[in-house]
Chain A
């Protein structure tokens, strides 16, 4: 089993079979991560480089654990600031890393499309760990994995994504993935945080949160980046929270068994209330657990290795 591609850059380019293959494979790896000895020799001798141009704890750690559980060697390479400020282009940096014979380059970068530059120019497999406002494919895959695990399916579910859709790569990847898997996707937020013509991606747009939540099977709350303040996307965090914070009461508009997701890190009391974030319907920590299994699956399927 393998993905017939060198890189994982986005969900948009994946077909339904590929997504299902990744999710099915992740199930096997989740079983591995439940064992006493959480390690398989699949990627022994392979080198994985985490190339992070933005601060990240959970995604980087998740990839690192995933690679180590597959017995790969992992190197973390953090760069603060863009390549411009260093005077070295992104491509120079990546070519240097490739010259050290990295098999996988996992890149997070503040500029949309940065992983595509690497993918076009390098022989290494490139995995997008979040690029600008564009996509965060492994996050969407772990979200879909978590939904499928809980609900038994994705097709036919109603998923409401709430908050800053415009600046969210998590939202974009989930919109592509969930609609491809047959879910009905709604997005809700103030107009300035809804990207232009987003309906063309097959979602419905809501400004009223309660309407968006009505009858939803899944509620996905996005992190509101605190630096969005002062740009008039919304007047104050206070008013944003008053209109869009997921409270217990608001969550009651969704189906009784609705699951509540958040890609983290959580701003408690701003986009989600503490009791909801830590409540029984919340799967936020399961998402983190599943992230490792999904990333193992992606590394494995891109490596073209044989049996698990």
Chain B
């Protein structure tokens, strides 16, 4: 069955297309984009009047938790959440149990994703064995098995010499090295941003410097090794400036930030809501403004979710004891649209940062709607309003800081390889 998306606003920034037209999908590929493509009996029609038809969104930073933490999320539920959020491709981080540091784990994830997954899953392999920060992984094997990048996300490689060797080795396989920039010694036992609010709440603080010093280190190592460094979840003014300077100097660095760093500050922690406990922590307004500016000016290339589901019992703990992390797949589009509404991003920039740019940094042929391209497509109703109600989210993790928020903008169709995998 072919699919015909009628009368939508087609936004395809990679091809500089932004027009109302029809889009025909045949054999899982984009067949034709034109005005008034006639409806034929072999094509199912989707009326996209007033909606945006964009390349399928790509999340470079997702935690699927399987294998090992299926009580938090599974490949099945995580990809259902991705589909509901408009993501057609997601990159799953290796901090599972066991850690994805071998072909066997990578193959397990890909097999599960092929049989139970709703969207494309691209595994990220570990930088070091067991994410222990000591011995680098067999990245050749990982690449061959299907990993598209390496990262010790959540457990930064503290030893600079290990990171240097890892970056040198990864560059041989053209694997981006995704760095969770955090000096864990500086972060100490911190549970939120260090500043006025942490002082008021009596919670141990994590200074901006814990992110900035590692961003600076990794940028220097990228310059030394000529590896592709991708800095995950940028949250501080300092790291935005470091990345800006590195790009000006021609160092191979890309960067992402997450929706929550664009709309929340550490004030959200007031009341000790554990669904505001994340690493890096929610920062101050000054940082939010700097990250927004960095995003607008292209210093930050990508919006990623850092979707990090946890079980309710884990988040019902005292703030100090609750795990770090919040979900994000199903709220990302609405938050990104808020930025469009506020004039931080244009529609084209938003789409580019959630599809074209992630595809480019991962070196995959996705993120555009050229004729012949794989039909990974997201249809968004930018005016639909909804309220975030955690029990209704597809993800097994209900730990969203946006509970009760009135959102504008919702995914109506997610299409992967020409098949509708989600209908809103």
A132 touches B320 (CB 8 A): yes
CA distance A196 to B207 in the complex (A): 9
Q: Which listed residue, A113, A135, A201, touches B318 by the CB 8 Å rule?
A: A113
Report A-chain residues with C-beta under 8 Å of the C-beta of B203: 112-113, 132-134
The residue on B at minimum CB distance from A168 is: B202
B199 touches A114 (CB 8 A): no
Q: Which listed residue, B195, B196, B202, B313, touches A172 by the CB 8 Å rule?
A: B202
Known: A89-B313, A131-B202, A133-B204. A112 touches B320 (CB 8 A): yes
CA distance A131 to B321 in the complex (A): 14
Known: A172-B202, A196-B195, A197-B195. A116 touches B313 (CB 8 A): no
Q: Which listed residue, B205, B271, B319, touches A196 by the CB 8 Å rule?
A: B205
A183 beta carbon closer than 8 Å to chain B:
no
CA distance A110 to B319 in the complex (A): 11
A109 touches B318 (CB 8 A): yes
Report B-chain residues with C-beta under 8 Å of the C-beta of A44: none
The residue on B at minimum CB distance from A112 is: B202
Distance in Å: Cβ of A176 to nearest Cβ of chain B: 9
CA distance A195 to B205 in the complex (A): 9
Interface residues of A in 79-97 (CB under 8 A from B): 82-84, 89-91
Report B-chain residues with C-beta under 8 Å of the C-beta of A57: none
Q: Which listed residue, B194, B207, B318, touches A83 by the CB 8 Å rule?
A: B318
The residue on B at minimum CB distance from A176 is: B200
CA distance A82 to B319 in the complex (A): 12
Distance in Å: Cβ of B143 to nearest Cβ of chain A: 39
CA distance A295 to B203 in the complex (A): 26
Distance in Å: Cβ of B118 to nearest Cβ of chain A: 33
Give a binary string over A112-141; 1 marks a CB under 8 Å from any B CB, 0 the rest: 111011000000000000011111000000
B272 touches A112 (CB 8 A): yes
A89 touches B201 (CB 8 A): no
Q: Which listed residue, B199, B207, B321, touches A111 by the CB 8 Å rule?
A: B321
Known: A196-B194, A196-B195, A197-B195. A84 touches B317 (CB 8 A): yes
Mostly helix, strand, loop or mixed at chain B's interface? loop
Known: A116-B272, A117-B272. A90 touches B317 (CB 8 A): yes
B412 beta carbon closer than 8 Å to chain A:
no
Report A-chain residues with C-beta under 8 Å of the C-beta of B272: 112-113, 116-117
**Residue of B195, B198, B201, B205 contacting most chain A CB atoms (<10 Å):** B201
The residue on A at minimum CB distance from B198 is: A196
Give a binary string over A183-202; 1 marks a CB under 8 Å from any B CB, 0 the rest: 00000000000011110110
Query: 15 other contacts beyond A12-B200, A135-B202, with CB at 8 A cut-off?
Result: A83-B317, A89-B317, A90-B317, A111-B319, A111-B321, A112-B272, A112-B319, A113-B272, A117-B318, A132-B203, A172-B200, A172-B202, A196-B196, A197-B196, A201-B200
A223 beta carbon closer than 8 Å to chain B:
no
Q: In the complex, how many residue pairs between chain A and chain B have their CB atoms under 8 Å apart?
A: 70
CA distance A82 to B318 in the complex (A): 9
B202 touches A134 (CB 8 A): yes
B316 touches A113 (CB 8 A): no
Distance in Å: Cβ of B210 to nearest Cβ of chain A: 13
Report B-chain residues with C-beta under 8 Å of the C-beta of A82: 318, 321
A111 touches B318 (CB 8 A): yes
The residue on A at minimum CB distance from B319 is: A113
Q: How many chain-A residues does the 8 Å CB contact rule pick out?
A: 28
Interface residues of B in 179-216 (CB under 8 A from A): 194-196, 198-205, 207
A201 touches B313 (CB 8 A): no
Distance in Å: Cβ of B237 to nearest Cβ of chain A: 16
Report A-chain residues with C-beta under 8 Å of the C-beta of B320: 110-112, 132
CA distance A90 to B313 in the complex (A): 11
Report A-chain residues with C-beta under 8 Å of the C-beta of B316: 89, 91, 117
A262 beta carbon closer than 8 Å to chain B:
no
CA distance A89 to B272 in the complex (A): 16
A112 touches B201 (CB 8 A): yes
CA distance A113 to B201 in the complex (A): 8
A68 beta carbon closer than 8 Å to chain B:
no
Distance in Å: Cβ of B82 to nearest Cβ of chain A: 30
Distance in Å: Cβ of B316 to nearest Cβ of chain A: 5
Could you name 21 residue pairs across A and B whose Cβ atoms are closer than 8 Å?
A: A82-B318, A83-B318, A89-B317, A111-B319, A111-B320, A111-B321, A112-B201, A112-B202, A113-B201, A113-B203, A113-B319, A116-B271, A116-B272, A132-B203, A133-B202, A133-B203, A133-B204, A135-B202, A172-B199, A195-B199, A201-B199
CA distance A110 to B196 in the complex (A): 21
CA distance A299 to B143 in the complex (A): 65
Give a binary string over A226-247; 1 marks a CB under 8 Å from any B CB, 0 the rest: 0000000000000000000000
Interface residues of B in 353-382 (CB under 8 A from A): none
Report B-chain residues with C-beta under 8 Å of the C-beta of A131: 202
The residue on B at minimum CB distance from A114 is: B318
Known: A111-B318, A116-B271, A117-B272. A196 touches B201 (CB 8 A): no
Known: A90-B317, A91-B316, A117-B318. A200 touches B202 (CB 8 A): no
Interface residues of B in 232-264 (CB under 8 A from A): none
CA distance A292 to B317 in the complex (A): 31
Distance in Å: Cβ of B67 to nearest Cβ of chain A: 24
Distance in Å: Cβ of B123 to nearest Cβ of chain A: 31
Give a binary string over B7-23; 1 marks a CB under 8 Å from any A CB, 0 the rest: 00000000000000000
A169 beta carbon closer than 8 Å to chain B:
yes
CA distance A196 to B194 in the complex (A): 7
Known: A116-B271, A117-B272, A197-B195. A84 touches B200 (CB 8 A): no
CA distance A201 to B320 in the complex (A): 23
A134 touches B205 (CB 8 A): no
Interface residues of B in 293-319 (CB under 8 A from A): 313, 316-319
CA distance A281 to B369 in the complex (A): 81
The residue on A at minimum CB distance from B197 is: A197
Interface residues of A in 149-207 (CB under 8 A from B): 169, 172, 195-198, 200-201
Report B-chain residues with C-beta under 8 Å of the C-beta of A84: 317, 321
A169 touches B321 (CB 8 A): no
A169 touches B318 (CB 8 A): no
**Residue of A113, A114, A116 contacting most chain B CB atoms (<10 Å):** A113
Report B-chain residues with C-beta under 8 Å of the C-beta of A83: 317-318, 321
